[in-house]
Amino acid sequence: MAIDYGDDLSTFGPDGSIDIDFDSVVEGPHVVLEAVARRWLMSSGALPWSPAEGVNVLRMINADPSPTDLYRLGELLEGEALQEPGVVGASVRAELRGGVLFIVGRLELAEGSYLLTVETGEARRVLFRPLGEAA
């Protein structure tokens, strides 16, 4: 049974770059995945009607987080993902690779598991794919 998540304008390009595309509409689980990615990338309080929404992992650029900081960030992002309607489970890991922060989330929706990866390096990218699908 497919869940109707509605549709939304895409806020990410096909290559994962952050760029709203007024001609690209996403549907199904992709609506939820993009909404979670936006929560992770926007500052808390950026939406006047939802002041507690948002984490802004981009503030971590040029930071030197400790392993504890990365663990806590993962927990914070899990909680943020679980606030998005349609997400029934989340597991998020934050890690540094070559000085670049990577957020890797496994999001559980009613119809399956999806990977959501956010890279906060010089070329910020957000990638979505069903769990088990090759990169």
Give the model's pLDDT for residue 97.
Answer: 84
**CA separation, residue 135 to residues 115, 116, 131 (Å):** 10, 12, 10
Range of the domain at 33: 7-130
Q: How many domains does the chain have?
A: 1
What are residue 8's DSSP bridge partners?
A: 26
pLDDT over 90 percentage in the chain: 38
What are residue 18's DSSP bridge partners?
A: 12
HSE at residue 105, side-chain half, CA atoms within 13 A, is 31
- Asked if residue 57 belongs to a domain, the reply is yes
- Asked if residue 64 belongs to a domain, the reply is yes
| CATH number of the structural domain spanning residue 54 | 3.10.450.40
- Asked if residue 135 belongs to a domain, the reply is no
Q: pLDDT digit string (tens) for 46-57?
A: 777 777 888 888
- Asked if residue 63 belongs to a domain, the reply is yes
> Which tops the pLDDT comparison, 70 or 24?
70
- Asked if residue 65 belongs to a domain, the reply is yes
Q: pLDDT digit string (tens) for 58-87?
A: 888 778 889 999 999 999 999 999 999 999
Average pLDDT over residues 19-30: 85
Give the model's pLDDT for residue 1.
Answer: 56
Global pTM reads 0.83
HSE at residue 25, side-chain half, CA atoms within 13 A, is 5
- Asked if residue 44 belongs to a domain, the reply is yes
